Amino acid sequence: MRKRIPTGTVRIGMYIDGFDASWFQTPFLRHHFEIKSQSQLDKIMESGIDYVYIDTEKGLDAACDEKICESTHHTVEKTPPPDIPAAPKKEAPKPEDKAFTDYISAKTDLIQIDKLSLIEATEINFNLYVKTGMEIVPLSVNHNDGGKVLITKDMLTSHGELLITRSDVQKYREYLRMAVKNTGAAKSQATKNMLIKENAKILVNELFNDPGSPKKMEACKETVGNVISSIIDTKGLITNLFTVNKHDYYVYTHSVNVSVFCVATAIAMGIQSEGELFAIGMGSLLHDIGMSTIPPEVLHKPMPRLSDFELSLLKGHVAEGLDIVKLYKGITPETLLPLAEHHENLMGTGYPLGLKGDKLHLSGKIISITNTYDTLTTSRPGFKAITPYEALTYLRDNRNLFDADILKEFITVLGKSSL
Ligand SMILES: [Fe+2]
For the chain, what are the domain ranges?
2-71, 97-187, 188-417
Is the model's pLDDT at 294 over the cut of 50?
yes
* Ligand 1 center to 310 CA (angstroms): 15
* Ligand 1 center to 253 CA (angstroms): 13
* Ligand 1 center to 287 CA (angstroms): 6
Q: Answer with the residue of higher pLDDT: 99 or 14.
A: 14
pLDDT at residue 83, rounded to an integer:
31
pLDDT at residue 94, rounded to an integer:
56
* Ligand 1 center to 128 CA (angstroms): 29
pLDDT at residue 273, rounded to an integer:
96
**What is the rounded average pLDDT of the residues 240-268?**
92
* Ligand 1 center to 372 CA (angstroms): 9
pLDDT at residue 145, rounded to an integer:
56
Do residues 133 and 143 touch, judged by C-beta distance below 8 A? no
**What is the rounded average pLDDT of the residues 192-207?**
92
Residues of the chain above pLDDT 90, percent: 46
Average pLDDT across the chain, whole number: 83
Task: Give residue-wise pLDDT tens across range 156-185.
Answer: 887 888 999 999 999 998 988 887 666 655
Q: Answer with the residue of higher pLDDT: 91 or 114.
A: 114
Do residues 109 and 168 touch, judged by C-beta distance below 8 A? no
* Ligand 1 center to 318 CA (angstroms): 7
Is the model's pLDDT at 126 over the cut of 80?
yes
**What is the rounded average pLDDT of the residues 91-119?**
75
* Ligand 1 center to 231 CA (angstroms): 24
* Ligand 1 center to 208 CA (angstroms): 13
Is the model's pLDDT at 76 over the cut of 50?
no
Is the model's pLDDT at 396 over the cut of 60?
yes
State how far the Cα of 258 lies from the Cα of 263, in Å rounded to an integer.
9
Q: Which CATH number fits domain 188-417: 3.40.50.300, 1.10.3210.10, 1.10.10.10, 2.160.10.10?
A: 1.10.3210.10
Angle at 341 between CA 338 and CA 344, to 5 degrees: 140
* Ligand 1 center to 216 CA (angstroms): 21
Task: Give residue-wise pLDDT tens across range 362-384.
Answer: 999 999 999 999 999 998 877 88
* Ligand 1 center to 100 CA (angstroms): 23
- Helix or strand (DSSP H, E) at 228: helix 214-233
- Neighbour-count burial of 35, counting CB atoms closer than 10 A to its CB (0-12 exposed, 13-18 middle, 19+ buried): buried
* Ligand 1 center to 288 CA (angstroms): 5
pLDDT at residue 74, rounded to an integer:
31
Range with top average pLDDT, 6-20, 237-251, 257-271: 257-271
DSSP assignment letter at 331: -
